[in-house]
Amino acid sequence: MKVQKAYDKLILKARRGAGFLLTSAAVLLIMECNKSEKERDSMNGKDLPTDTQNTETFQEIGFFGEIKRDCWDEFLAAVQKNIAHSREEPGNLCFSLYIPEEGTPAPIWFERFTGKAAHEYHKRQPYFRDAIAVIQKSVVGEPVGITLREVCEIPATVPPRADNPKTSHYGITLYEVPLYKRQSFIAAVKELITQSRDLKMNLEANIYQYADDPKRFVLIQGWTGIGESQSGSAQDLEKRFNPTVEGYFVCHPAVIHWSVKDISTDYSQ
């Protein structure tokens, strides 16, 4: 399968340190991985979802891909300005910009609003249009945005802003499960999220599903620092979670994960 071969090459490059320059391609390729699983879904209905029309909030995660190095400063300033203004909008729940921890200029955005109307309001604002103009001339390829929906069994919480975002640590993980494993996966990840939220150093633990595909998920986890994310308590949760869901996933490798830091704010101010 051509898509699978290209996906394998992408992962090999990621392991060699070049993966973040291909973030947009990674998202597109995982969306195509192992379409034959649909046949298994139709034959096994014991674990099918009963409700995928969850809440009315609007969420989007996006991958800018590589940013031209000579445009980086202007790009970052424009996006940070857009985020700062958007966070003041009455319909905004959260808006963040992340970058790979090694500093590769391939940022990821996540935004969440009270509803589609609030998002449309945001897109009518001059600071949004200003940011789009800068983004269009700064990106090497085409940004990829994925509309998300809350998972009704695990309502998303509004994460607090880190006291020191410069040292905070986040993880973004993409999962794809066959439909007949969906409810089992949700039960396992619900336990992980519930217990993660109870840890003092946790800033965020939310999972969303793709709006157009209930088999695909995005997990966002935030910690006050990278040391806290690797603490005994956090690692214990991961060690219990990983064996529980082993064998659930469609693609190879089983999941796609990015370790990122928050660059939503201009720290020089």
CATH number at residue 77: 3.30.70.100
Mean pLDDT taken over the chain: 81
Kindly tell me if the per-residue pLDDT of 51 is higher than 60: no
Tally of structural domains, the chain: 1
Q: Which residues contact 28 (CB under 8 A, 6 or more apart)?
A: 144
pLDDT score, position 232:
57
- Using a 10 angstrom Cβ sphere, with 0-12 exposed, 13-18 middle and 19 or more buried, the burial of residue 98 is buried
Residue 67 lies in a domain: yes
Residue 213 and residue 146 in contact, taking contact as beta carbons nearer than 8 Å: no
pLDDT digits (tens, 9 = 90+) for 96-146: 999 998 888 999 999 999 999 999 999 999 999 999 999 999 999 999 999
Q: Is 127 domain-assigned? A: yes
- Residue 200 inside a domain? The answer is yes
How far apart are the C-alpha atoms of 204 and 220, rounded to whole Å?
7
Q: How is residue 198 written in tokens?
A: 């109870």
pTM equals: 0.80
What are the tens digits of pLDDT across the range 21-49? 445 555 555 555 544 444 444 444 444 44
pLDDT in tens, 250-263: 875 567 889 999 99
Paired strand residues for 261: 99
**What digits encode the pLDDT tens for the residues 164-173?**
778 889 999 9
pLDDT at 225: 78
Asked whether residue 269 is domain-assigned, the answer is: no
Q: Which tokens sit at 145? A: 């945005």
- Does residue 43 lie in a domain region? no
Per the domain annotation, does 85 fall within a domain?
yes
- Name the band, by pLDDT with cuts 50, 70 and 90, for residue 226: low
Tell which wins on pLDDT, 162 or 31: 162
Q: Which domain does 192 fall in, by range?
A: 2-36+49-154+162-262
Residue 108 falls inside a structural domain: yes
Residue 181 falls within a domain, yes or no? yes
Cα 135 → chain centroid: 20
